[in-house]
Structure 1
Amino acid sequence: MAKKYYSQDIPGTLAEFGSDANHGISSAEAKKRLDQYGPNALAGKKKRSMFARFMDQFKDLMIIVLLVAAVLSGVVAQEWTDAGIILVVVLLNAVLGVIQEARSEAAIEALKDMSTPSARVRRDGAVIEVPSTDIVPGDVVLLEAGDVVPADLRLLVAESLKIEEAALTGESVPVEKSNETLQGEDIALGDRINMAYSSTNVTYGRGEGVVVATGMNTEVGNIAKMLNEADETDTPLKQNLNQLGKTLTYMILAICVVVFIIGVIRNPQHEPMNALLIDMFLTAVSLAVAAIPEGLPAIVTIILALGTQTMADHKAIVRKLPAVETLGATDIIASDKTGTLTQNRMTVEKVYYDGILHNASDDIDLNNHALITMLLANDTKIQGGGELLGDPTETALVQFGFHKDLPVNDFLAEHPRVQEVPFDSDRKLMSTVNRYDGQFMVAVKGAPDMLLERVKYVNINGELSEISAEQKKAILASNNEMAKQALRVLAMAYKVVAEPYADPTTDNVEQDLIFAGLVGMIDPERPEAKDAIAEAHRAGIRTIMITGDHQVTAQAIAERLGLVEK
C-alpha cells in the first residue's frame, strides 16, 4: 500500500474511492472494480508444468556427466547395457524428485484451501455477505469480534475495537483501534491505530472501515511479494555434490587424457596409428564410464526422500528434496517469539487474593470474588463446542474457570448482564452489572493503579473492611512482583447494589468498590520449543529469539525457554 491513508482524514479517503460510509458502493460499481483490480487474493509464483519440473531434475552437474557417459557408452564404446543402466538410474532419480515435489505442492495447496472466509460489506445501502475474494477498494467492511480482516482498511468506526496483528508485527497483545487521523509521515505499522490490515484478527468490539488496498497491494501482500521474489540458494549438500561432480569430471578427464597419451606414445604392439588412436580412445571412454559413480545421485535422492518422509511424520512439509538436509548444516536458528516459541494464547499464571499471591494451580471456587469478577466483567463468547471467542486476555480468564472444572456456563446463565460501562483506554477499566442472588453485582476489572483509586473496601477471607494504605502498598508490591515476571496484571473489584442504575456511568458504577484481587497472565512458552532449544544447544547451535516485546518481557520468556541463564 503505497499511499499513507493513516494520515488522511475520513472524508478525503471516502471521496478518493467514491464511497459513502452509510451506503458503501453499488453492486454494479463493485463488479467493475473487481474486473479492474482483480480478486482480493494473494498471488503465488507461476506454477511450473510437470514437464518443466521433470527437466529441472537434469540441471545437476552430476546428472549431466552421467548423461554424457551414457551417450559415450552406447555410441562410442557400443556398451548399450551400461548406457541403459545409467539412463535408468538418471530417470529414476528424476521421477523421485518430481513425485516428492508434487506431493509437497499438493499438501501446501490443501492448506491454502482449508478456509475461504467471507466478509460483511455495505453495498447499495444494505449489509450483505460476500466472499473475501470479491472485496474491492471502496467497499465499506463491517467488523466484529471473531472476524478476520479481509483487506487493508481505513477505519471509519471503532467501538472498543481491538485487533490482533501478530501476523504482521509479532505482538500477541491486541491493538486498540481508533478512527482518528494520525499526524506524521512515517508511522510504524504497529502504531497505525486507525488502520486494519488484511489477515489480522478482530478480538474485541466492532468497527467499520473503507477498503484502501486488496490482494497483493495489502501489507501482507507485500510480504508475499518479497517471498515470491526471493532468490533460491543451493543447500550445502547440493553445493557439495556440484563440487564433487566438477572434481570427478576434471580428474576423470585428466586420467583419460594421460592414459590416451601414454598408450599412443608407447604403442607396444606397433599398431597402425589410425587403429591405435581408435583403440586408445575407446579405452579412455571405457575408463571414464567405469570411474563415474552412476549410483550416487540415485542413492542421495532415495536418502533425501526418506528424510522428507520422516519430516512429514513430524508434521513438517518439505517442498524440495535437498532442503531436508539443510538443518544438518545449521549454525544459528533465529525464531520469532509470538506463536512460534510461545503459544500466542494468554494464560493465567498467578492470582492474588486474601492478601496472598497464589499459583494458578492452587484450588479456587466460585465463592471467590476475584474469580467471580473475572467471569462477569468479561465479553468472551462461548461457542457451542466450547470454543472461546474474544480478546485473548478475557478468554484466558474464562479458560481459567474451565481449567478448574467449574460450571462456568451455568454460572454465567444464572447471573445475566443487565448493564455495562464498556472499556475505555483513558480510564483503563470495564464494568458490568449482573443479577446476583436477588440483587445486582457490579464487577470491575482493569489496570491496578486506576482501579485502586476507586476502591474503598477490601475482602479478606470473606470479611469486609476499609482498605488501608498498607494494604494498597502490599497490593502494588504484588503487582510489581508479577510485572517483573513478564506477567500482564489486571485488578478485580466489585460491589453489590439493590437495583440497576438509571444512567450507568463511571462516576456512579465504578465508585466505592471492594477490592477482590489481582490476576497475572502471560503468553506461555511452548513445551516443545523449550525441548527443541535445549537440543539445539547440545548440538552446538546458537539460538536467537526475535521479538518486539519490552526488554523485561523478552528476558523473562527467554529465561523460561532456556535461551539465557537466569
Structure 2
Amino acid sequence: MAKRKTVQVEKEVPFHTFTVEQVAEHFSTNIHEGLSSQEAAERLKKYGSNELQGNGGVKWYKVLWRQLANVLVVILLIATILSFATKDFAEGAVILVIIIMNAAIGFWQEYNAEQTMEALRNMSSPTAKVIRDENRTTVPNNQVVPGDIMIFEDGDVIGADCRLVETFNLETDEALLTGESLPVQKNLDVIEKEDEPLGDRLNVVFSSTTVVKGRAKGIVIGTGMKTQIGQIATSLMNVDSSETTPLQKRLNKMAYFIFLAAIILVIIVFAVHKFKYSNEVAIYAISVAIAMIPEGLVAVVTLTMAFGVRRMAQVKAIVRRLSSLESLGAVTNICSDKTGTLTQSKMVAVRMWLPGDGYYRITGTGFDPDGEIYQQGEMNGASESNAQEQLVVNDEGSNHFLRTLQAASLCNMAELRKTTRPQSHGEWSAIGDPTEIALQVLAYKAGVPKPELLSQGFKLIAEFPFDSSVKRMSVLYQAPEQQDGTGGHFIFLKGATERVIGCCTRYRNGDNEILLSEESNEKGSMDRKAFETMITEKLDILADKGLRVLTLAYRRFEAAPGTDLVHDLVREEVEQDMTFLGLVGIYDPPRAESRPAVLQCYDAGIRVHMLTGDHPATAAAIAKEVAIIPSDVPTKGNPLIMTAGQFDSMSDEEVDKLIELPRVVARCSPNTKVKMIAALHRRNLFAAMTGDGVNDSPSLKTADVGIAMGQSGSDVAKQAADIVLTDDNFATIVHAVAEGRRIFANIQKFISHLLSTNVAEIVVLIVGLAIKDDDGQAVFPMSAVQILFLNMITSSPPAMGLGLEPASESNMHEPPRSAKQGLFSREVIMDTFVYGLAMGALCFSVFCVVLFGFEGGETGSSCNREYSEACEGVFRARATAYASLTLLLLAHAINCRSFRASSWSFKNLKTLRHNKMLWMSLVIGALVVIPCIYIPGLNRSVFKHTGISYEWGFVIAALVLFILFSDLYKFIKRRTMKPLTVRAASELEMERMRTFMSQHTQNDSVMETKP
C-alpha cells in the first residue's frame, strides 16, 4: 500500500469538562455583558477570522498534467517523434491522435468545478447573534471570536463551537458530525470524561449544526479551523489524494517493461545489420518498436472506464474519478455508516406494549400510514415468529388501546400530510420531530389521527413542551361530550420511561385502573417496585431489538373553580397522579435491500463493518437485522461489537493484535473511522468507506474507495468521495462492486488480446530478420503501416468490445483479488505468450509457404519501400501474412471472452449477440481486409502488399488450426488449473463469526444495553 500522510490535529481543550464559570474565566468574558467591541477586534487579529481555510480550487492544468504524466503516454510520444523524424507522418499522426483522445476523455471525466473545501465554507452561517458591549447585536459570522457570547434560536445554523451557558428546550441536529439520526437534547451538566464522543457532549454545540427546537446561549470556544468541522477540514487538507490506484501502478510497470523490451528489440535489429544506420534499418527498428507498443491500450482502458461510468450511472452510482472504478473489484472490506445508508433514516413505531393487552406489532415503513397493527398478547415466552396474532381493525381495539393511541396522537406537534402535486404521486410527507412523526403515523394506522380527533371536538387548552431537564411533554385537552355525559378535560403525557413512571400513581390494565402502592399487601393494588420491575423487563425486551422506547400516560383533569387553564397551571402539579398506559418502541428501520446486499458481500468474500454515531444497542440490533453479525448471538461481551471509546483507546499495536476487527463500532467520531481504515490497511486489506455526513469525509478520502450518499449526503462528503450513490442504497454498492470486478476482468481480457497481438507481431518481425533481400537488408514480413493498422484498426475495436463484455456468472462468487495479484496474473501472462506465439508462428508460416513454396523465394531489392516485378512474391506473402494475422486476431478476441470455457461452443457463440460492439468490430474488421489488399495504390504504396488469390486457402487453414489449438489449450487448463469460482460463502461467514464469538466472548459487557 502507498504511504498516506499523517493527519496532525492539535489537541483540543476539553471544555465540556469545565463549568460555565471556568469557561468564562478561561476566555476572560462576561456571560451577561459579552465582549467589548475593542476586545473583539483584538481577538479577531489574534485568532483569525471564523472561516475555513482551503487548498484553493481545482486547477485545470494539474488535472491535464495527470493525464499526460503517464509512462505509456510518454512512450507513445517518443514513438511519435521517431515516426516524424523518419518522415513516416501517417504513423506519427495516428499515434498523436491516440494521445490527444485519451487525454481529453480522462480530463473531462476527472475535472471538478468545485473543491471539497469550498463546500465546507458554504456550510457556515453567514451571520451570528452575539452580545457585544452589553447589547445583543448581529455580526458577520466570520467576525465571531472565542469568548463571544452567542445566541441561537430555532432554525439557526450555529456559527461556531460553543459551551452552553443557558438553554431552553434546546435540541440540535448533529447528523452531519455524528451520524445520529435523532435531534440531540442539550443541557448544562458538566461531563467528566475528557474523551467523551461528540454525540455525548450534551453541554456543547458545534459549528454548522442546526437548532431543531428551543433556544440557547453559549460561550464561543472554537472558531474557524479550531472547530470540530475545522478539524475535519484539516484532515481533508492533509490526506494525500495523489496516490495512484493499483491499475495505474500496474499499467505503469507494464509500460516500463514494454519500453525496455522495445529498446532491446531495436538493438537486436541494429545488431543484425551490424549497427550500420540506414533509413531501411531505422524504419524496421521503428516497426519493431511499434509492434511492441500496444498503441490502443491507453485509449481502450480509458474508454472502457468511461463506458463503465455510464453503466454505473444506470445502476445509480456516479463515478467521479475514472481511475478509482477498477479499485471496487479489489475491495475486501466495506465500512458503512448506518443512518440513511443501511437504514431508511425515517423513525417508525414498530412495537407497542400495554399492560393486560400485551404486545402489538405494527407494520409499514416511512410516513405512509397504510400499515397494520397486530395484537400478539404476552406470548408467554413463545418466540415472536410463532406467536398468535390478531389484526386490530381501525379503531376497534380495546378502550385501553384507543386511549393509548389518543395520547400518541394528541400529545404530539407533528403534522402528516399527503402531497397533492401530480409529480409526487400522492406520497406522504411529515413535519416535526422524528419521534413525534413516528407516533403520529402510528395514530393514523390505528384510525385515530390527530386531525380526526380535533374534528370530533378535542380542543388543545395548554401545552408543556418537551424539556430536556424533565425529558417529557404534556398537553391539556378538552374532550368532546359523549352520549353518556362524559367529557371534561384530559392530560396526556409522553416521554422517557423513568421520567413518566415517576409521575404515575396507577396503571391501566384493560378497562381497569390499578393503584400503585408502596405496600405489597394493599388490596386491589400493585406494589410499585414489582410494577417497575415488570416495566423494566418489557423495556429490556424492546431495547434488545434496538428500539427507542417512549412511555405514554394520561389522567382526567378537574381544575379548581376559577382556575385559568391557560395561565394558572403549574407543570409540576399537572404532571402528577398520572395513569400509565403503555410503551411504544420506535426505530430507524433498515432498507429492505440491505440484508440481501450484505449477504451478497459475504458470497463475494467481502466483509461489512458498521461505523455509526448511533447508540450501541441500536447499532447492534440493526447489524443483526442486516446480517452484519449473526442474529442469534449475544450482544453483551461480544468482541465484534465495540464503542468508539473502546476502539479509540486501543493503541495501533493492540488493534493489530485483535484476531478480528470489530464489525460494529458505535458512537463514532471522525477519527474513529479513519483509525479503522488505517487498521485495515495495516492488514493489507482494501477498504471502501460509505458515508453521508461531513464527519465521514476524512475516512472517505483515506479509504481506497470512498462512496458517498447522493440524496442525504452533504456536499463535503460528495466532493471527498470517489463514487456517489444517487439512491443512497447500500445495495447499489454491491452493484458497483460487481461492476468494478467486471471491468477489471474485462481489462485483463483485452490486455491479453492486445499484448498477444504484439507478441505475434514481434515473433513475425524478429524471426523475419533471417530473410534477406538481394541487398542484404532484412525483408519485412509485415510493413510498419500494416502493424499500425492491425494495432489500431483491427485489434483495438475488438479489445474495446471485450471491455464491454457482461459479467460472468461467477463474478460475485469469487474472492476479492489480493493486493499482490495484478492485472498480469500467471494465467494472463501464460495466455498472452501462448496465444501470441501460436498466432505469430502461423502467420510467419504462411508467409514462408507463399514466398518460398509458391513464389520461388525471390526477395528482390528494396521490397520494403516500393513495388517491383521482383518483389511480387514478397508483396503477395506479406498480404497473406497480413490477412492471416487479421483473422487470427479477430478469432482471438472471441477466445478472450473466457479464460477457461470454450469460446467456440454454440452456447458461447450465441451469447456473442449480447455484445453488439464486439461482434460488429469482428465483422467490420474482417471486411476491412478486402479493400486494404485489393484497392490499387493503397495496397502497394501504403501497405506494401498486393492482391492475393490462392493464398486465401492458407489463411483459412491457419484460422482453423488456431481455433483447434485454442480449444485444446483451454481444455488442458480446465483439467490442470484450480477452478476460478468458489461456492457461496455467506453461510460459512456467519458460522465462522458465531464460532469466533463463542470462543472469545468477554465476561464484562462491552456496551450498554438500553437506548
What band does the TM-score fall into relative to the shorter chain? 0.7 to 0.9
Select between 123-132 and 349-358 the one with higher mean Cα deviation.
123-132
Q: Which amino acid aligns with 1:498?
A: E
Once the two structures are superposed, the pairs formed by residues 52-131 of structure 1 within 5 Å of their partners are: 52-75=62-85, 77-102=86-111, 104-105=112-113, 117-118=125-126, 120-124=128-132, 127=136
Q: Tell me, in whole angstroms, the C-alpha distance in 2 between the residues paired with 1:404 and 1:310.
A: 44
AA aligned opposite 2:583: L
Q: How many angstroms apart in 1 are the aligned matches of 2:127 and 2:352?
A: 39
Structure 1, 472-481 or 355-364: larger mean CA deviation:
472-481
Task: State the partner residue of 2:550.
Answer: 490
The more displaced of 143-152 and 289-298 is: 143-152
Q: Which residue of 2 aligns with 1:269?
A: none
Shift of 1:209: 1.3
Distance in 1 separating the partners of 2:144 and 2:313: 36
What is the CA-CA distance between 1:358 and the residue it aligns to? Answer: 0.8
Q: Which runs of 5+ in 1 are unaligned?
A: 265-272
Q: Which amino acid aligns with 1:527?
A: A
Worse overlay, 216-225 or 104-113: 104-113
* Cα pair 1:27 1:123 within 8 Å, conserved: no
Q: 1:315 to 1:109 in 2, by over 3 A?
A: farther
> Structure 1 stretch 397-406 or stretch 59-68: which is displaced more?
397-406
Q: Is the 8 A contact 2:54 2:117 kept in 1?
A: no
What corresponds to 1:432 in structure 2? Answer: 475
Range 224-233 or range 13-22, more displaced: 13-22
Matched to 1:537, the amino acid is Y
Deviation at 1:517, TM superposition (A): 1.5
Instruction: Compute the displacement of 1:9 (Å).
Output: 4.0
Aligned: 1:255 with 2:265? yes
What is the CA–CA distance in structure 2 between the aligned matches of 1:382 and 1:215, rounded to whole Å? 39
Contact kept? 1:155, 1:179, Cα under 8 Å: yes
What is the match of residue 359 of structure 2? 357
**Structure 1 residue 66: deviation in Å?**
0.9
Match of 1:562 among 592, 604, 627: 627
Instruction: Choose the corresponding residue for 1:225, options 230, 234, 243.
Output: 234
- Structural mapping, 1:470-489, within 5 Å: 475-489=535-549
User: How far is 1:552 from its partner?
Assistant: 4.3
2:157 to 143, 148, 151: 148
Match of 2:298 in 1: 297
d(CA) in 2 for partners of 1:150, 1:565: 43
* Structure 2 residue 212 is the aligned partner of structure 1 residue 212: no
Q: Which residue of 2 aligns with 1:5?
A: 15
How much is the aligned-residue C-alpha RMSD, in angstroms?
3.6
Q: Structure 1 residues 213, 365: closer, same or farther in 2, change over 3 A? A: farther
What's the secondary structure of 1:563's corresponding residue? coil
Residues 416 and 435, structure 1, Cα contact 8 Å, conserved in 2: yes
* d(CA) in 2 for partners of 1:558, 1:181: 32
Flag the structure with higher strand content: 1
Q: Give 1:457 deviation, angstroms.
A: 3.5
Residue 492 of structure 2 is matched in structure 1 by 443
Tell me by how many angstroms 1:86 deviates: 1.0
Q: What displacement does 1:157 show?
A: 0.9
Moved more, 54-63 or 43-52: 43-52
C-alpha contact (below 8 Å) 1:536/1:543 kept by paired residues? yes
**C-alpha distance 351-225 of structure 1, shift in aligned 2 (>3 A):** same
Unmatched runs of 5 consecutive residues or more in structure 2: 1-9, 363-371, 374-391, 420-428, 481-486, 517-524, 560-564, 632-1011
Q: Deviations over 1:112-166 (max 9, x none)?
A: 7997755551345555566655644444333344443332112121223333434
Q: Pairwise mapping of residues 272-421 of structure 1 onto structure 2 (< 5 A)?
A: 274-275=276-277, 279-353=280-354, 355-360=357-362, 361-362=372-373, 363=392, 365=395, 368-378=402-412, 380=414, 387-390=430-433, 392-401=434-443, 407-409=449-451, 411=453, 414-420=458-464
Helix, strand or coil at the partner of 1:51: helix
Larger CA Rg, structure 1 vs 2 = 2
The AA in structure 2 aligned to 1:369 is R
Distance in 1 (alpha carbons) for counterparts of 2:174 and 2:556: 38
Q: Which moved more, 1:455-464 or 1:328-337?
A: 455-464
Give the alignment's TM-score, normalised by structure 2. 0.50
- Pairing partner for 2:570 from 504, 508, 523: 504
Structure 2 vs 1, CA of residues 39 and 394 (structure 1 numbering), >3 Å: closer, same or farther?
A: farther
Report how far residue 415 of structure 1 moved.
2.9
Question: Contact 2:507 / 2:513 at 8 angstroms: preserved in 1?
Answer: yes
State the 1:34 CA deviation.
Answer: 6.2
Structure 2 residue aligned with 1:545: 610
Match of 1:530 in 2: 595
- Determine if contact 2:478/2:489 at 8 Å carries over to the other structure: yes
| Residues 442, 497 of structure 1: 8 Å contact kept | yes
How far, CA to CA, are the matches of 1:159 and 1:66 in structure 2?
69
Rate the CA distance shift 1:318–1:5 in 2: closer, same or farther, 3 A.
same
CA distance in 2, matches of 1:72, 1:330: 42
1:543: Cα distance to partner?
1.3
Q: Secondary structure at the match of 2:68?
A: coil
Are the structure 2 counterparts of residues 165 and 243 from structure 1 closer, same or farther at C-alpha, using a change threshold of 3 Å? Answer: same
CA contact (8 A) 2:141 2:159 kept: yes
Q: Identical aligned pairs, as a percentage?
A: 32
CA distance in 2, matches of 1:453, 1:74: 91
The AA in structure 2 aligned to 1:59 is A
**How far off its partner does 1:325 sit?**
1.9
Distance 1:183 1:565 in 2: 35
- CA drift at 1:301: 1.1
**Deviation for aligned residue 1:39:** 5.3
Cα distance in 2, alignment partners of residues 46 and 320 from structure 1 = 19
- Note the C-alpha offset of 1:355: 1.9
Count of matched residue positions in the alignment of Structure 1 and Structure 2: 552
* Corresponding residue SS for 1:337: coil
Q: Which amino acid aligns with 2:255?
A: G
1:253 maps to a residue whose letter is I
Q: Is the 8 A contact 2:52 2:233 kept in 1?
A: yes
Query: Quick one: distance in 1 between partners of 2:147 and 2:56?
Result: 29
The TM-score normalised by the length of structure 1 is: 0.85
